[in-house]
């Protein structure tokens, strides 16, 4: 297969976690096309498992959807030097008020491959220790815990639609509970 080649990238907007660009692409037959591209700094997320097996999720308002969602705790990686596992541990405690020294990599998720390079590194957290939430001033998060069966129902009935959350739960259920 002949390859498509990017011949120019023009940044159009730079925010705190992303840069939106207009890319000029050359197709294998020599034509050019304009494609949107979002460059993302990366993120980390964590699937927290309580000692009784329930999984901790956070309920929060998401502006893009104009509604509340149920998700695993997640957040951006602070700069290129911060390890994803450090960001995952930080987000776990900030958003849920739990800490864990037992984080293992669960999966890497490319969130929107058609137009964005965001990769979320997702970790499994066990041996949770209760601390306290440290929310950002614009975060309003409720912490909830669900059984595996409850989560499967929430996914299949469309209540949980967040891709990182679905991928993390289903990977965990397949790899760790069979």
Phi first, then psi, for residue 52 (nearest 5°) are -85, 5
Co-location of 113 and 128 in the same domain = yes
Catalytic residue among 82, 137, 142, 148: 137
The pLDDT score that the predictor gives to residue 177 is 79
**Mean pLDDT for the chain overall:** 94
- Total of domains in the chain: 2
Give the pLDDT confidence score for residue 43 in this predicted structure. Answer: 96
Examine the domain organization and report whether 32 and 69 are in the same domain. no
| SS3 annotation, 16-45 | CCEEEEEEEEECCCCCEEEEEEEEECCEEE
What whole-number distance in Å separates Cα of residue 32 and Cα of residue 47? 43
Task: Report residue 178's pLDDT band, with 50, 70 and 90 as the boundaries.
Answer: low
Residues 54 and 10 in one domain: no
DSSP 8: E
pLDDT of residue 152: 97
- Does one domain contain both 55 and 72? yes
Question: For residue range 23-42, what is the model confidence (pLDDT) as tens digits?
Answer: 999 999 999 999 999 999 89
Least trusted range by pLDDT, from 16-20, 53-57, 148-152: 16-20
Q: What range defines the domain where residue 17 resides?
A: 5-39
Residue pair 49/128 in contact by the 8 Å Cβ criterion: yes
- Number of CB atoms found within 10 A of residue 32's CB: 11
153 pLDDT tier (thresholds 50, 70, 90): very high
Q: Answer yes or no: do 106 and 48 share one domain.
A: yes
Q: Domain containing 147 — which CATH number?
A: 3.90.79.10
Q: Is 137 one of the catalytic residues?
A: yes
**Could you report the per-residue pLDDT of 77-135, keeping only the tens digit for each?**
987 789 999 999 999 999 999 999 999 999 999 999 999 999 999 999 999 999 999 88
98 with 21, same domain? no
> Are 16 and 83 members of one domain?
no
The pLDDT of residue 40: 92
Q: Kindly state whether residues 54 and 102 are assigned to the same domain.
A: yes
Q: Are both 24 and 68 inside the same structural domain?
A: no
Q: Indicate whether 54 and 32 sit together in one domain.
A: no
Residues 72, 10, single domain; the answer is: no
State mean pLDDT over 144-155: 98
């Amino acid at each position: 297969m002949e390859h498509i080649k990017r011949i120019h990238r023009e940044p159009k907007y730079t925010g705190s976690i992303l840069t939106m660009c207009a890319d000029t692409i050359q197709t294998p037959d020599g034509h050019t096309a304009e494609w949107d591209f979002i460059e993302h700094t990366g993120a980390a997320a964590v699937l927290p498992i309580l000692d009784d097996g329930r999984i901790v999720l956070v309920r929060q308002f998401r502006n893009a959807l104009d509604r509340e969602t149920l998700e695993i705790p997640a957040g951006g990686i602070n700069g290129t030097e911060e390890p994803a596992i450090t960001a995952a541990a930080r987000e776990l405690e900030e958003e849920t008020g739990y800490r864990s020294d037992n984080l293992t990599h669960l999966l890497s998720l490319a969130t929107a491959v058609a137009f964005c390079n965001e990769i979320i590194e997702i970790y499994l957290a066990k041996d949770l220790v209760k601390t306290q939430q440290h929310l950002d001033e614009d975060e309003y998060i409720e912490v909830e815990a669900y059984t595996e069966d409850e989560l499967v129902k929430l996914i299949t009935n469309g209540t949980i639609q967040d891709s990182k959350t679905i991928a993390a739960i289903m990977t965990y259920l397949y790899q760790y509970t069979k």
